[in-house]
Structure 1
Amino acid sequence: MTQPFDAAIQAFAPALPLAVGLSGGADSTALLLACARRWPGQVRAIHVHHGLQAAADGFEHHCVALCQDLNVPLAIRRLDARPAPGQSPEDAARQARYKALDAVALGRQAPEAIKSIALAQHADDQVETVLLALSRGAGVAGLAAMPAQWERSGLQWHRPLLQVSAADVRNWLRAQGHSWVEDPTNTDERFTRNRIRAQLLPALEAAFPAFRDTFARSASNAAQAAELLDELALDDAQVVGTPPAIQLLQRLGRARQANVLRHWLRTQHQTTPAAAQLHELLGQVAACTTRGHRIHIKVGRGFVVRSGLHLDWYSHQVLLP
């Protein structure tokens, strides 16, 4: 019988050459090993040294030794991933990591150009992401969690292990006789993900043994719903215009107004309104029935204001006449 890990690798069909994001942990070590065996000579590894903890040097040494053993070229990027004020350490590290992966992959010249990047998040990671989204009151885009594949900057990105549990990944790696580096922060329950992993996942396992599969289906359903909402927002944006005309917005139902405004703010201004901010903005749009009605609301990282017959957004506070 084919094991879940082997089945996932057999189903994985990336464009080659392929780069694997290699942290040195069990998941990325297993993914690199499996890909290097399946596509010899077509796989590269990229390791990002975040510079955030003393153990990071040990991760790098493991990656160097592993890639030498597999005869896989390794690119190492060292960076300062300390968070900005108000930014979580996890978010800062994630954003810095993606930038580093992009830089390495896009920096290669043909015929060595990397066409795909594989990341090693697994089914447990997906469950944690869904639970985090639920705890924050996320909409369908947040509940869609992590996509299995997407394109960005001309690269194909893949997460081939999203249907494989953490235990199955480690069992497979042990069977190959390979070791990995355990991040000491993984047991630090000051981090929300670690509390979920230590406290919630065992309870879910006991109550709902198939929870990984059912959570994955829910995330997939949410992703489809989010795609439909994006398509509807594109259609409505054609009607209300960019920036949106207030009177045309008022002809839409409240839910469609919210959807197209979120789309406008995200795509045109790279900002996301909080639920309370969007609620206030919708109320002001509904009340805007006279020439003198003013709108000036903090939304996302800036301000939505009325500008004549339209809404506009500024990254700074503006003085209204």
Structure 2
Amino acid sequence: MAELSPQYLLDTLAPLADNQLVLAFSGGLDSMVLLHLLSLAQKQHSFSLKAVYINHGISAHANHWADFCKAQCDALGVAFAQQAVVITGQSNLEQKARIARYQALAQYVSTDKHMLLSAHHADDQIESLLLALKRGAGGAGLSGIAAKRPFAAGMLCRPLLVFSRSELEHYAVANKLSWVNDDSNSDCRFERNFIRQHLTPVIKARWPQFQQTATRSMQHIAQLQQLAEHYTRQALAQCVSDAGLLLQPLAELLPLQQDLVLRQWLADFGLNPETQWLTTLKQQVIAARPDAEPLLVLADYQLRRFANTLYVLKPIDVQTPTQTLTWQGEPELALPDDCGCLYISATKQADAIALSATRGQWVFGQLSRRFKPAGAAMSKPLKQWFKLWQVPPWQRLRVPLLLVNGELVAVAGYASSTAPELATAWLHWQR
């Protein structure tokens, strides 16, 4: 059985001399114990250590707790920093505070040498499991709190997860530590507090070993989750392209694996949809008729399908530039609305198209204009050429078009009315 000691921390964290440890420090029992252990471990093995207090401003005592935390760090010779965050509204206060806290702490984890430490313990694991069950979480949620995971530019580590709160309290009393008692911890409007006050005592009284057995179950689920993620990543690699998610190879997977691949693909964009939203995506976007242009919104993104490929688009990706740019022959032209840059050179570059013009106007979105590429039998409206070139509808409105005396002579990245042998310059569009 693990012993709560500085040596245990050193064995668990294995800090190198150039590591920079950052403690998420609230002044409560848990983080006070971890601060004390770290200060002792630092005397045995040299590493950089800073404690950071995030002031949510929710409690009237927040500034007093900040002063307490600084005094404790000063007494132990540990560098201290504090940062205030602003939380608006009273709904989902617990979640808002958590998000704001980690966003603020991320600023202190700026390199791969940084390690953020939090003092979560075994009782927190049980609370996390019950909350995961309450919201119908999947394997990732039911795995509980990870002992180590990537965070910002470095890692987030929770070295006290194997110890119960009673073990931490015993250590604090034995070492005559002081700590903050947050008055909000007794407020059962917060879900964790309700579990802590009303559910956990009943469970432990009926099943004294519940904490150990539940932790073991979470470890089993975590292992299964790691295995699922491994094979999901392999399957996703077969479905993903530079453009988006290829639906034909996705359809060849088992239905359950399709869901896992979709979730992993969306997770790479920071998206975690509910099950019902995923069902809507499959029914109304992926399974839409071939000639449809389906669209589904998730957070700040749009999900669209084109040419049997699924796309995740940011607002800027579907924004049509309205600015007209006058070109006087400059070799480089920056485009508006994140549309990239145009480069004109005397020598042919990869993916460049021929030009004979040296001036004109660059416009966007004029899909009804007629255009005749070099070598084509006849002119057609630009929208018809875009269909032939398999350009997704939202991208068509963001393609730079060169007009000379009102005539469309070049579609950047695709075609020109100038034959290559007649070129006096070459145009390359870097998106």
TM (norm. structure 1) is 0.86
Higher strand share: 2
**1:178-207 deviation digits (Å, cap 9, x = unpaired):** 111111100000011100001110011012
- Offset of residue 300 of structure 1: 5.4
**Separation in 2, partners of 1:259, 1:197:** 33
Does residue 34 of structure 1 match 2:40? no
Helix, strand or coil: the match of 1:104?
coil
Cα distance change on mapping 1:106 and 1:284 into 2, 3 Å: closer
CA contact 1:8–1:161 (8 Å) conserved in 2: no
CA contact 1:14–1:116 (8 Å) conserved in 2: no
**Separation in 1, partners of 2:154, 2:247:** 39
Does residue 165 of structure 1 match 2:164? yes
Match for residue 252 of structure 1?
Answer: 253
* Residues 84-163 of structure 1: pairs in structure 2 closer than 5 A: 88-106=92-110, 115-163=114-162
Paired AA for residue 223 in structure 1? A
Helix, strand or coil: the match of 1:20?
strand
- Offset of residue 171 of structure 1: 1.5
**Separation in 2, partners of 1:79, 1:19:** 18
Paired AA for residue 172 in structure 1? Y
- Offset of residue 299 of structure 1: 4.4
Q: Which moved more, 1:184-193 or 1:235-244?
A: 235-244
**1:212-271 deviation digits (Å, cap 9, x = unpaired):** 22222222222222222222222112222242222222211110110111111110x321
**Separation in 1, partners of 2:154, 2:167:** 28
- Offset of residue 176 of structure 1: 0.8
CA contact 1:84–1:92 (8 Å) conserved in 2: no
Paired AA for residue 101 in structure 1? L
Paired AA for residue 38 in structure 1? A
**Separation in 1, partners of 2:88, 2:211:** 31
**Separation in 2, partners of 1:228, 1:284:** 30
**Separation in 2, partners of 1:120, 1:58:** 21
**1:41-60 deviation digits (Å, cap 9, x = unpaired):** 64321111122221111211
- Offset of residue 97 of structure 1: 1.8
Cα distance change on mapping 1:291 and 1:157 into 2, 3 Å: closer
Match for residue 12 of structure 1?
Answer: 12
CA contact 1:254–1:282 (8 Å) conserved in 2: no
CA contact 2:53–2:81 (8 Å) conserved in 1: yes
**Separation in 2, partners of 1:101, 1:283:** 40
Match for residue 272 of structure 2?
Answer: 272
Match for residue 84 of structure 2?
Answer: 78
**Separation in 2, partners of 1:52, 1:22:** 16
Q: Unaligned regions of 5+ residues in structure 1, if any?
A: 108-112
**Separation in 2, partners of 1:256, 1:83:** 40
TM (norm. structure 2) is 0.66
Cα distance change on mapping 1:210 and 1:300 into 2, 3 Å: farther
- Offset of residue 276 of structure 1: 0.9
Cα distance change on mapping 1:10 and 1:311 into 2, 3 Å: closer
Higher alpha-carbon Rg: 2
Could you say what the CA RMSD is over the residues aligned between the two structures, in angstroms? 2.8
**1:107-141 deviation digits (Å, cap 9, x = unpaired):** 9xxxxx96322110111111111111111111101
Cα distance change on mapping 1:106 and 1:249 into 2, 3 Å: closer
**Separation in 1, partners of 2:70, 2:163:** 26
**1:263-313 deviation digits (Å, cap 9, x = unpaired):** 11110x32122111212333457745x533554344455443321221223
Higher helix share: 1
Match for residue 182 of structure 2?
Answer: 183
**1:28-48 deviation digits (Å, cap 9, x = unpaired):** 001101110121364321111
Cα distance change on mapping 1:61 and 1:160 into 2, 3 Å: same
**Separation in 1, partners of 2:103, 2:286:** 41
**Separation in 2, partners of 1:240, 1:270:** 19
Paired AA for residue 126 in structure 2? V
- Offset of residue 24 of structure 1: 0.5
Does residue 236 of structure 1 match 2:242? no
Q: Which moved more, 1:178-187 or 1:60-69?
A: 60-69
CA contact 2:114–2:154 (8 Å) conserved in 1: yes
Cα distance change on mapping 1:248 and 1:17 into 2, 3 Å: closer
CA contact 2:50–2:78 (8 Å) conserved in 1: yes
Match for residue 282 of structure 2?
Answer: 282
CA contact 1:75–1:104 (8 Å) conserved in 2: no
**Separation in 2, partners of 1:216, 1:209:** 13
**Separation in 1, partners of 2:196, 2:58:** 22
CA contact 2:286–2:305 (8 Å) conserved in 1: no
**Separation in 2, partners of 1:286, 1:69:** 61
Helix, strand or coil: the match of 2:60?
coil
Paired AA for residue 267 in structure 2? R
**Separation in 1, partners of 2:265, 2:89:** 26
**Separation in 2, partners of 1:208, 1:264:** 40
**Separation in 2, partners of 1:249, 1:106:** 37
Helix, strand or coil: the match of 2:272?
coil
**Separation in 2, partners of 1:12, 1:38:** 12
